[in-house]
Amino acid sequence: MTYFLVMGSLALSVLFTLGWALSRLLRWVASGLSLGSGKGSARSRRSSGRGSRTAAKTAKSNTGNKASAKSAAKAGATAKAKPAGEPWRITRRLAEWRSSTALALVAAFTYLVARLAEHGMSYRPPHTLPSGFGTLLFGLGWLSAGLILLALLHRLAVWRCR
């Protein structure tokens, strides 16, 4: 009875987590496909307009002083690469995806409960572990590690977008 209770709750938790992750992934992919035509081109038009205005202002200020222009060009050539101005689209999308931390916590908690159940079942002398339990635990551990990595990437993307 305990086996069915533990394995049933574990299977239900895993199926719920995988279903949630799949639905969020499908929403993310669907929103990425619909954004390609409208907003991206407007952003590039706005940023190119700003860039041409600032380039015109700097060209006017540099024409009067040729010595400072030469020194600025030398300094620009010797300096390291400029930091990226705007984050990539995938970084912005990952920063908007707020459920990655919750998914990682659910998967990690489910994995820890399953590990605890394995530990408890291994100390009952007359009973042995079911054959598929080790494989389930292995897969759940990798899923939990992947979701934790995704949550860390989410936090990094949020930091990059700010």
Domain presence at residue 109: yes
Domain presence at residue 126: yes
Tokens 């390291």 sit on residue: 80
Residue 71: which residues within 8 A CB-CB, separation 6 or more?
Answer: none
Number of domain units in the chain: 1
Domain presence at residue 66: no
Domain presence at residue 29: no
Which structure tokens are listed for 55?
A: 């380039």
Q: 105 falls in which pLDDT band (50, 70, 90)?
A: confident
User: Residue 9's domain spans which residues?
Assistant: 1-21+87-162
Tokens 């006017």 sit on residue: 60
Closest CA to 101 of 62, 138, 150, 63: 150
114-123 own/partner pairs: CB under 8 Å, 24+ apart: 114/10, 114/140, 117/6, 117/10, 121/3, 121/6
- Across the chain, mean pLDDT equals 74
Tokens 């202002």 sit on residue: 57
Q: 42 falls in which pLDDT band (50, 70, 90)?
A: very low
